[in-house]
Structure 1
Amino acid sequence: MLAPERRTRADIFVAIAIAVTLVVAAFVVWARADATGTDSVTATSPVPTVTAATQLPTTLREQWHAADESSRRALTSGNVVVTGDHGTVSGRDPLTGNQLWWYRRDMPLCGVESQFGTVIATYRDQRGCSQSVMLEADSGERRVARSSYMDDEIRVSGDGTYLLALGANRLEMWRSDLVRTLEYGYVDAPVNPNTQPRSGCTLRSAASSSSRLAVLERCPGDATARLTVLNPAPKESTDPEEYGSRALTAPGADAPESRVIAVSDNKIAVYYPPTEPTATGLGLPARIAVHDGTGNEIATYPLAAPWEERATVTRLGSAIYVFTGNSLIALSSSTLQPVWTVRDALGTPALMAGRLLVPVADGQLAVDSGNGSTVARIPIARTDYGGDTISTAVLGNTVFERRGGQLYALG
């Protein structure tokens, strides 16, 4: 008969060590989980449907305002207006400013964007601005999330089909479900080595459409900036597909102010700043250079004045508008050439009752989007305005202005 097994003191110590290890491992997994440090409160009832305005207001005054430090522009989505501040993204009632839902994480909020009737919030962790979540606009319910290595600062923008997440060393294109369709630039752990066409490049600017992604980059070994045109959704997301890439030789192409400003299905617009006269020729004015779908320059349009650093591009449907820092320029959706200008603008526009609202010193200017002619001037007495760029949005009969890190509702 076998002797009964006996537990020794060493066996007990080993069992205790294993139990402690399991507890510590479980705590680490819990502490690193996405749900930890997250506070998500969804709307308690259906959000009222907002009806589009049918006529312009004759006057506007401030109704409420809220902190909005993390957004780059005034955002509306679905039937709510959206703010982002100190890790919290909020969907607000456009009439009262009351929070209908909010999503909060104990991480820095890199930025907020809206597209597809949703809100996209991106947070920074130890891998950069790598944590993105998509929320239903009207309820705040989490739809999908993604995580990947990104730069410490990125800019997320939408073209109506894809989302572009752009950093200085790397960019990604995302579908409407946040699935990545393309990674370009630095890759931290390449699945397939040597698939990126170049390495060590600094991505200066980029813009996209449903069929083209244009990147202005500065690469080692190039004498000047390079314009690269890519498929935004190649067969493999880790294997970029180029339609063309060439170092730009035009005067001013390598200036820090040069940038991609707009992309259509078969054209790309690039801004060049003015150049100084040289011993062999005159200087050139600021201009827009239009390139074809492979990056070849096909047209140039001089500008009346150079753009400021805060120049911002806005797409409203197929229409493209550029706030230059002191004027608003409309670009042709087919040729990308300038077609009209509103001078002394203070920021970016929005559509209301079939007219384009443009912020100016004493209010909002309503203009004909076809030719830029003034239709009406709507007075506003702005509080705490210090000359910041004004981003305009409209939801129903309410006009929103984002300026100075605050979102103001005007009614």
Structure 2
Amino acid sequence: MVVAVVLAVALVAGGVLFWRTSAAATTRSVTAPTGSFPPPPLSQTSPPAAFAETWRAASQGTPVPLVAGPAVVTAADGEVAGRDAATGDIHWSYTRDDTICTAATGFGQVMALYRNGSGDACSELTVLVPATGARRVYSNPKALPGTRLLDSGTLVALTGSRYLQVLRSDLVKTTEFGTVDTPDQPGRQPYPDCSLDSFAITQGRLAILERCPGEDQDRLTVIAPDGGSDATSPEVVFSALQPGAHGQVVAAAGDRVAVARPGPARLEVVDGQGGVLSATPLAVPDADLAAPPPGGVAATTSDDRRIYWWTGSATVALGRADLQPVWTLPGTQGPGVRYGDAVLVPVPGGLAVVDPVTGAVPRTIAVDRGGFAGAVQPAVAGSVLLEQRGPDLVALRPA
């Protein structure tokens, strides 16, 4: 017994900690000393003439590049690792026996969601400090494989095709929505047994596009994610049927929601009461909009003025406040990302350097992706450009 205590103290002192969870899974945490994590390389004012790959790592648990504080975070199998943006060196790691479902940022922290012991649910959620990897808080939410974590800055929603829930920073549930398997108080949900197809979150609003039994149109429901006095009964801001072909939620801003629909391809902006403010034609194939996006979350990035949305074949810039389309760039592989005074948009064979105001493309930077032709999700950490290419994260530095 004395030996075990001494060993545990030694491991903690060395920055390595083992423990057993309630799910009987061994966890290993290697933390970084406070203040030791190097910041990303300094940002650049303009995109360079060329980029060179500096490192890559498996990261099938991150649907988009995960940049949190000074760390670029990868998630593969059971390990979540905080890496140096410039070199890919691991400064901290958190590893479980279980497989990770997904990882994302939330409340400025790193959120790692793991499968449970039986593997049929994603119900082991750990929040880690980005600069050190230290475990901050832990909980057991209700989610299934395929869930996405949507961060509003103060709240995080865990999506699902039948049920979603929202958590605050201490991981206490603020609200739930959808089909509750064994409700403590039946009748608390306004639209049970519906298919929840796509989602977007913003401060104070969570938009859900759903299809409900007996209804042949989309129902757009907006709820207050911070809930009310009872987390089991969502506070509905509005819920309205939306005529037209089945669509997908693209983004939310203020009291507005952007919904894309095929037949013909268009972007509808819906106001705070569910009325359609505008419908703007989109120069994209109907096929891009005919099904919910992967995981029910549109591929978007944003800066202080624009939201950059990848439809599946084109990148569309939207005004961040009014959600109106500004320009469209066809033949792309992902949403754009702001890099200095330009937007870099993944295209076959490289990166289009795009004027964020006009959408003009003065040049293209060649990037050899080794034959990878799938979706590319970009992000920036200082001067390092990150690309999520399927299960791999690739870091590019100015050359």
Instruction: Output the TM-score relative to the length of structure 1.
Output: 0.83
Residues in 2 aligned to 1:337 and 1:73: alpha-carbon distance in whole angstroms: 24
Which residue number corresponds to residue 38 of structure 2?
48
The Cα of 1:348 is off from its aligned counterpart by: 2.2
Which residue number corresponds to residue 221 of structure 1?
214
> Relative to structure 1, is the Cα distance of residues 178 and 370 closer, same or farther in structure 2, using a 3 angstrom cutoff?
farther
Which residue number corresponds to residue 108 of structure 2?
117
Superposition misfits of 4+ residues, deviation over 4 angstroms: none
TM alignment of 1:60-71, pairs within 5 A? 60-71=51-62
Residues in 2 aligned to 1:399 and 1:324: alpha-carbon distance in whole angstroms: 21
Task: List per-residue Cα deviations over 1:264-306 (Å, max 9, x = no partner).
Answer: 11111111122xxxxxxxxxx1111111112222211111123
TM alignment of 1:323-402, pairs within 5 A? 323-383=310-370, 385-402=371-388
> Relative to structure 1, is the Cα distance of residues 193 and 318 closer, same or farther in structure 2, using a 3 angstrom cutoff?
farther
Q: Does structure 2 conserve the Cα–Cα contact (< 8 Å) formed by 1:229 and 1:294?
A: no
Residues in 1 aligned to 2:153 and 2:362: alpha-carbon distance in whole angstroms: 29
The Cα of 1:67 is off from its aligned counterpart by: 0.6
Q: From 264, 273, 282, give the equivalent of 1:294.
A: 273
Residues in 1 aligned to 2:277 and 2:329: alpha-carbon distance in whole angstroms: 26
Percentage identity across aligned positions?
Answer: 37
Which residue number corresponds to residue 92 of structure 2?
101
1:195 aligns with 2:188: yes
Residues in 2 aligned to 1:162 and 1:292: alpha-carbon distance in whole angstroms: 22
Which residue number corresponds to residue 152 of structure 2?
159
The Cα of 1:344 is off from its aligned counterpart by: 2.1
Residues in 2 aligned to 1:78 and 1:292: alpha-carbon distance in whole angstroms: 34
**Aligned-partner SS, 1:137:** coil
**AA partner of residue 395 (structure 2):** A
Which residue number corresponds to residue 239 of structure 2?
245
Which residue number corresponds to residue 131 of structure 1?
124
Moved more, 132-141 or 218-227: 218-227
1:303 aligns with 2:282: yes
**AA partner of residue 214 (structure 2):** G
> Relative to structure 1, is the Cα distance of residues 162 and 317 closer, same or farther in structure 2, using a 3 angstrom cutoff?
farther
Q: Does structure 2 conserve the Cα–Cα contact (< 8 Å) formed by 1:149 and 1:188?
A: no
Residues in 1 aligned to 2:24 and 2:42: alpha-carbon distance in whole angstroms: 37
The Cα of 1:187 is off from its aligned counterpart by: 2.1
Task: List per-residue Cα deviations over 1:355-410 (Å, max 9, x = no partner).
Answer: 22111223222222222223543222333x32011111111221111113111111
Residues in 2 aligned to 1:122 and 1:338: alpha-carbon distance in whole angstroms: 34
1:321 aligns with 2:300: no
The Cα of 1:210 is off from its aligned counterpart by: 0.8
The Cα of 1:50 is off from its aligned counterpart by: 2.6
Q: From 224, 229, 239, give the equivalent of 1:231.
A: 224
Residues in 1 aligned to 2:352 and 2:233: alpha-carbon distance in whole angstroms: 47
Greater relative contact order structure (CA < 8 Å, 6+ sep): 2
Query: Unaligned 5+ residue runs, structure 1?
Result: 1-29, 275-284
**AA partner of residue 243 (structure 1):** V
**AA partner of residue 287 (structure 1):** R
**AA partner of residue 364 (structure 1):** L
1:85 aligns with 2:71: no
Query: Unaligned 5+ residue runs, structure 2?
Result: 1-18
**AA partner of residue 96 (structure 2):** R
**AA partner of residue 26 (structure 2):** G
1:208 aligns with 2:201: yes
Residues in 2 aligned to 1:330 and 1:177: alpha-carbon distance in whole angstroms: 35
